[in-house]
Every structure is written in C-alpha cells, then in structure tokens.
Amino acid sequence: DTGVSQDPRHKITKRGQNVTFRCDPISEHNRLYWYRQTLGQGPEFLTYFQNEAQLEKSRLLSDRFSAERPKGSFSTLEIQRTEQGDSAMYLCASSVGGYNEQFFGPGTRLTVL
C-alpha cells in the first residue's frame, strides 16, 4: 500500500497523559500536513512541513502540541498533558505541490477520558 499511513488508529488516554501519533506520507511527497477534525466539522489545519522544515503553525496549536519531521519523511505529533477538549480525529495528509491536492491518511481517533 503506497498511501498515507497513520499509527495508531485509535488512542484512549486519561487526562494529563502525553500521547504521540505517527504519520508516514506517500514516499515522494515533500509536503506534510496535520489536521484535527471534530464531529460535524471539516478538518482544521494544525501545521505544515516542507521536507523537514515546519513552515506554518495554526493558532489552534497550543504550547502542548509539538510536531516534528526529523528526516523529511515520517512525522510525529505529540500532545502533552492531554485535555478532554483534545478528543478528536487527527488527520495527516501529504502532497507534492501542483494544485495543492492533498492525500489523507486514515486518521488517529483520540479519546481523552
């Protein structure tokens, strides 16, 4: 399968715990994006990487959130001291430019108890 993959698919954690999600983009895609989606809404942009450089961060991304793409390939999104409001689907997408066609992974569903 050469699509975008995300791990884990589901994560249940207790409030205050740290969680880390992984995204493996399509191999030739140099652009990688993280989004958050809550029930009844479309995906909301969180952050963007071009190769290993993090070029854009949304105001939605509080200090508790950090993302990395150390070698310009896979990326991780860490949430520290999780809160119930962090419960959402976290989506990763990748693209190679052009008309900004982004290809999404299956998402990680986070539930904070």
Partner 1 sequence: TQLLEQSPQFLSIQEGENLTVYCNSSSVFSSLQWYRQEPGEGPVLLVTVVTGGEVKKLKRLTFQFGDARKDSSLHITAAQPGDTGLYLCAGTLRSGGYNKLIFGAGTRLAVHP
Give the footprint of partner 1 on this chain (CB under 8 A): 4, 6, 33, 40-45, 48, 50, 55-56, 91, 93, 99-107, 109
Instruction: Report DSSP letters for 48-99, one per residue.
Output: EEETTEEEEE-TT--TTEEEE-TTSS-EEEEE-S--GGG-EEEEEEEE-STT
What residue has token string 């962090």?
86
Give helix then strand counts, H and E, for the chain.
Answer: 0, 11
Q: Which is nearer to partner 1, 18 or 56 (CB)?
A: 56
Q: Which of 11, 107 has the CB closer to partner 1?
A: 107
If the CB atoms of residues 54 and 76 are measured against partner 1, the closer one turns out to be 54
Shortest Å distance, C-beta 29 to partner 1: 13
Smallest distance, Å, CB 26 to partner 1? 12
Minimum distance between the CB of residue 16 and partner 1, rounded to whole angstroms? Answer: 26
